Amino acid sequence: MSSSDIKNFGILGYPVGHSLSPQMYTAAFKAAGFPNYNYILLPVQAGKLFFAVEGIKSLEFRGVNVTIPHKSTIMKYLDAIDADAMVIGAVNTVVNDGGMLTGYNTDVVGFLAALSEANFLPEDCHAVVLGAGGAARAILWGLCKRRAEYITIGARNPQKAQALANDFLSQGQVSGYDWLTDEFKELLQTADIVINTTPLGMFPHVDDMPPVDLKLLPEGALVYDIIYNPVETKFLRTAKELGFPTLDGLSMLLLQGREAYRLYTGELPDLKVMRRAVERELQSK
């Protein structure tokens, strides 16, 4: 794309006022020499999603990021769905190619890239995933794609955990548990990685964390929290105090954003510029 072209992008959801995407993408566009690329907030309530999607076509938006509550419901309004998004059952990026809208899920790419940057190889590992909501699905699919040997889902609702596990049984060895049971606690003792996909500990509820005894983990297990606000959650702080290596959610946020940027422009952004923009915005909140 020519730097002289005006291109519009945005984040579609409700609410979207808290989003870091405008700062992240605007900084990346500017650094890449795309001063006429605009990134805006698109607050769209559930009943108006169809009209918003039609508006993306009519106004010739190049692409949009998609957040709660539209990540699954938007799929029926798109012309094509990427394979990862189809398995996960959610879209977080839509690209407009001449009026044809294609949905992608860049969370799985961001998650796996973050693991790679942390020098963690999910192949043949025992992964424990905390939470059975929408955020867990991309994590589970990433682990299955990289052939994790065994995946344990721990959640407040064991029925929901097992239902999620059942969705991925054809992809790997996955099971769901109540995270307060002795059986789950025993499984923690063989975990290579524990990943929090719940909102417990997210701003403003920074004193919360999943009710999991991290002392049960074996030495060297990686403790990962996909929350990025705050960057260091109580969950990660507790793990660090116990001597475990940790990984925060900022890397996944940036790396999934990098993949969306690539889908939009065909180029890779300056990740350092994106990181600085996000960190600056987090510090100002």
Average pLDDT, the chain: 96
List, for residues 43-89, the tens digit of each pLDDT value: 999 999 999 999 999 999 999 999 999 999 999 999 999 999 999 99
List, for residues 186-198, the tens digit of each pLDDT value: 999 999 999 999 9
Mean pLDDT of 156-161: 97
For residue 242, the model assigns a pLDDT of 99
CB-count exposure of residue 160 (10 Å: 0-12, 13-18, 19+):
middle
C-beta atoms surrounding 128 within 10 Å: 26
CA separation for the pair 70, 155 (Å, rounded): 23
pTM for this entry: 0.94
pLDDT at 1 over 60: no
For residue 61, the model assigns a pLDDT of 98
Q: What is the band of 4 on the pLDDT scale with cuts at 50, 70, 90?
A: low
List, for residues 108-128, the tens digit of each pLDDT value: 999 999 999 999 999 999 999
Concatenate the DSSP letters of all residues of 192-207 into one string.
Answer: SEEEE-S-TT-TT-TT
One-letter amino acid for residue 168 of the chain: F
40-54 per-residue burial string, b: 16 or more CB within 10 A, e: under 16: ebbebeeeebeebbe
Mean pLDDT of 27-42: 97
CA separation for the pair 86, 101 (Å, rounded): 15
For residue 284, the model assigns a pLDDT of 87
Of 30, 57, 71, 215, the catalytic one is 71
Domains and CATH numbers, the chain: 7-107+251-284 (3.40.50.10860), 119-244 (3.40.50.720)
Q: What is the band of 138 on the pLDDT scale with cuts at 50, 70, 90?
A: very high
List, for residues 217-234, the tens digit of each pLDDT value: 999 999 999 999 999 999
Query: 3-state SS of 223-283?
Result: EEECCCCCCCCHHHHHHHHCCCCEECCHHHHHHHHHHHHHHHHCCCCCHHHHHHHHHHHHH
Q: Is 76 a catalytic residue?
A: no
Q: What percent of the chain has pLDDT over 70?
A: 99
pLDDT at 285 over 80: no
pLDDT at 166 over 90: yes
